[in-house]
Structure 1
Amino acid sequence: MLTELKVLSEAEGSCVSIERRDGKSALLIICEHASRTLPERYGDLGLSKDARESHIAWDPGALAVARGISAALDATLVSQRFSRLIYDCNRPPEAPGAMPEKSEIYPIPGNQNLGADERKARTEALYIPFHDAVRGLIAERKARGQETVVVTIHSFTPVFNGKPRAVELGILHDADSRLADKMLTAAADAPLYKTERNEPYGPQDGVTHTLILHGVSNGFRNVMIEVRNDLIKDDAGQGVMADYLSGLLQQCLEGSH
């Protein structure tokens, strides 16, 4: 039974990638939806190639933008190496969206009617190690007296359920809006993108789980950045966005807490 429920093989390694572990920036960048890779055990989940490569499986461009910011500011980056279709690390285990049976227009055959053992196995293989890794990094930073500011990077589709989205850049927050407020003010002063607060999602949609877990609960400044994915579909767009966000974050970090 234990073998049947092994989510990742030894060859697949850890579900967590950490880059610039000793980065000097206060920023701790988190990318929960970095990859569309499905663990071998799950095959294609009954989905077409188009569906497996679409936004339902990952946040296209988000990891590239996160890496650009990490490189520019010497910031530690933590990313999930497997698709959110198996486990969405920005959702707690009890949330329906943690292991979705349907995403947008796509039913996900391999996620239908999951039993308690399978849900537990996925949680223990993907969610717990991912967030434990973030906690471990925070503890290391605290031990060496390094400030932590939590920033999560995501992307969203230009059209959702048939409706175009005008917003290009979303600055999201939960109860603590300190960093988001500064970023929105700075973005208004340099309006390269149409930028909105808590769009196209907000706390009411359950998207601030990671912020609450590692930012709000620790009293750290924090923000979730959502980028419309047509703007970051190639190297050029990713580079421009990473440069813009790096400048915005640096400017806001240099201000008062």
Structure 2
Amino acid sequence: MTPLIGADDPPVAEYLPPTYCPQLLLICEHAGLAIPKSLGRLGLDPQLDLAEQHIAWDIGAKAVALGLAEHLGAGFIWQNYSRLLIDCNRRPLSAQSIRQDSDHIPIPGNHGLTAAEKAARVEDIFMPYDALCQRHMARQDITLTISIHSFTPEMDGEKRPWDMSLLYREGEQYAKQMAAILAASEPDLHIGFNVPYQVTEDTDWFVTQYAEPRGIAHLLIEIRNDQLRSEAGIKTWVERLTQATQIMLGRL
């Protein structure tokens, strides 16, 4: 089988090493929009602007995570390929790993895949990303890890009112601590918990496979993406989360 990732394609994942805060590791699973040249646009309409589609990536998430890394001097791992190929925050080959449609948009290039074609996406995209994360998560100096995501303001006709959400399973204390820190300076900030989805073995990889097994303090942050569609909005969130994370690090 022809290699999925060609010489002219971007690397699967990248790592920005810490400068002065090695105890914090930032992760952005849905940072990129890349699709291997061998797969074209997965059969999607050429008129569909993938950069505007929440199904293709988490809009604004990488910019926020990178801003945090730069402000805090933290390490940062991001994944460059579109979640339309394979979702690197889902259990490989689970129902949400390689989707045939997303938010009612069919993904033709994901229809009728053979077992070998699915395995190639796991081996060539998911596994290198996962290996990079596992390697850095295993460092003994990591005391806090944060995964940054964004969500669409509306799904299936239902408005999502939260400015942000904190998702957790065993790490409720960390989510509640961050929420309290944020609320202390911005009481009107609408913070949700375990919305717009909940952490399970099939709907999450970061919490269930990286943070919880190691007992590391962790946060999975979701930001409503209409607040991340401008440089000003991204700057606001970077400053907000930088201040809150500094406080939280001081309390761990």
Q: What TM-score bracket applies, with the shorter chain setting the length?
A: over 0.9
Which stretch has the larger CA shift, 217-226 or 19-28?
19-28
Partner residue in 1 for 2:107: 108
Superposed CA offset, 1:226-248 (max 9, x none): 00000010111001101101111
Offset at residue 208 of structure 1 (A): 3.0
Give yes or no for contact 2:25–2:142 (8 Å, CA) kept in 1.
no
Measured on the aligned residues, the alpha-carbon RMSD in Å equals: 1.6
Specify the SS of the correspondent of 1:11.
coil
Partner residue in 2 for 1:19: 16
Offset at residue 177 of structure 1 (A): 2.0
TM-score normalised per structure 2: 0.93
Partner residue in 1 for 2:213: 217
Q: Does residue 159 of structure 1 match 2:132?
A: no
Specify the SS of the correspondent of 2:8.
helix
Partner residue in 2 for 1:198: 194
TM-score normalised per structure 1: 0.91
Which stretch has the larger CA shift, 12-21 or 24-33?
12-21
What is the one-letter code of the residue matched to 1:77?
A: F
Q: Does residue 52 of structure 1 match 2:41?
A: no
Give yes or no for contact 2:151–2:224 (8 Å, CA) kept in 1.
yes
Residues 208-247 of structure 1 mapped to structure 2, 5 A cutoff: 208-247=204-243
Offset at residue 176 of structure 1 (A): 2.1
Q: Percent identity?
A: 31
Specify the SS of the correspondent of 1:254.
helix
Match of 1:250 among 226, 246, 249: 246
Offset at residue 148 of structure 1 (A): 3.4
Query: Unaligned 5+ residue runs, structure 1?
Result: none
For 1:22 and 1:94, the matched residues in 2 are separated by 36
1:207/1:241 CA distance change after superposition, 3 Å: farther
Specify the SS of the correspondent of 1:98.
coil
Aligned residues: 249
For 1:128 and 1:44, the matched residues in 2 are separated by 22
Query: Unaligned 5+ residue runs, structure 2?
Result: none
What is the one-letter code of the residue matched to 1:24?
A: C
Specify the SS of the correspondent of 2:166.
strand
